[in-house]
Each structure stands twice: as C-alpha cells, then as structure tokens.
Amino acid sequence: MLAAGTHLGRYEIRSQIGAGGMGEVYRARDTQLGRDVAVKVLPSTYSDDAERLHRFEQEACAASALNHPNILSIYDIGTHDGSKRCDSESAAQPCRSEKRSITRFRSLMAWRPRMRRA
C-alpha cells in the first residue's frame, strides 16, 4: 500500500480508494495540471507474471479506446518501482453526462426569472 504524500512521477497520492484482483486504486493529484486523478497500481508481486501484465495493459488500452460518459478516460500507463500503473480521471468527479445535466439544469434555472415576469 502506498502512503499519502508518495509521488509517482507527477502524481501525488492522497488516499487509497480500493483494492482488488487487478491492483490497488488510489486518489491522487496531478501536480502539473492541478487535477484529481485515479491511479491503479498492479502490486509488485505480479511484476513477473506475464499474463497479469498483459491483462493490465490490455484493460488500459481497451478503456482508452472508448469514449463514453460511464467509462473513465485513461491518461497514461507507466511503472513505479517495478510495478505497472494506470492513470485515469477520478471516479469522484461527476461523469460527463452528469456535467451535461448540471449545465442544462443551470440553463433552465436561469430562464425562471424571465418566465415569472412574462
């Protein structure tokens, strides 16, 4: 497990989000672009397992090829201390469809005062 404050390149680990069969996921901060990201790290115990490495990279490549509001955007894949990592948008942020809904709602709310006057 990575401690808060650990740096993986330009990403600063904030906290662990979860863990599973394909790795540990952390909330992190992109120090160059000033945005929150999720960083998935394949444990170093699997660094010699060619099949797991292949599946990890295949998962990242498949997700990066898709553009859908319910799928996280992949920013990068890399390594840290011999462990593979995958960097993506943070799941804690509203997805694109939620952002569109919020924008539509705000737009409709802006019309309310005008409608009352009519």
- The answer to the question of residue 102 being in a domain is no
Of residues 16, 26, 1, 44, the one with CA closest to residue 87: 26
- The answer to the question of residue 104 being in a domain is no
Based on the number of CB atoms within 10 Å of its own CB, is 87 exposed (0-12), middle (13-18) or buried (19 or more)?
buried
Q: What is the structure's pLDDT at 29?
A: 93
What is the extent of the structural domain holding 49? 7-92
- The answer to the question of residue 117 being in a domain is no
- The answer to the question of residue 100 being in a domain is no
Q: What is the CATH number of the domain that holds 39?
A: 3.30.200.20
What is the number of domains present in the chain? 1
Q: What is the structure's pLDDT at 13?
A: 93
Q: Which amino acid is at 39?
A: V
Paired tokens of 94: 């509203």
Q: What is the structure's pLDDT at 101?
A: 56
Pairing of strands 7-8, 11-20: antiparallel
Phi, psi of 97 (to 5 degrees): -65, -35
Of residues 32, 24, 29, 28, the one with CA closest to residue 15: 28
With a cut of 50, list the residues of the chain below it in pLDDT.
115
Q: What is the structure's pLDDT at 49?
A: 86
- The answer to the question of residue 63 being in a domain is yes
